[in-house]
Amino acid sequence: MPVSDPVARLPVLQTEHSEAPEARFSPGDTVRVIAKATPGHTRCPGYVRGKEGVIRLVYPLAYYPELRAHSTVKRREHSYAVEFAAAHLWIEGDPSQTARVELFESYLEAQ
Partner 1 sequence: MSASHQSPPVAASEAAPVERRVFALRDALVDRGLVEAGEAEALAHHALEELSPANGARVVARAWVDPDFRQRLLANATAATKELGIEGIEGRQMVAVENATATHNVIVCTQCSCTAWPLLGLPPDWYKAAPYRARVVREARVLLAEMGLQLPAATNIRVWDTSGETRYFVLPMRLRGQSISRKSDSPVLLLGMR
Under rule CB under 8 A, residue 44 binds partner 1 = yes
d(CA 85, CA 100): 9
When binding is defined by CB under 8 A, the residue of 34, 58, 86, 87 that contacts partner 1 is: 86
d(CA 36, CA 68): 20
When binding is defined by CB under 8 A, the residue of 1, 13, 35, 110 that contacts partner 1 is: 1
DSSP letter assigned to residue 37: P
DSSP letter assigned to residue 36: P
3-state SS class at 67 = helix
What is the nearest approach in angstroms of partner 1 to the Cβ of residue 62? 4
Residues in contact with partner 1 by CB under 8 A are 1-3, 5, 8, 43-45, 47, 57, 59-60, 62, 65, 79, 81, 86, 89-90, 93-94, 96-104
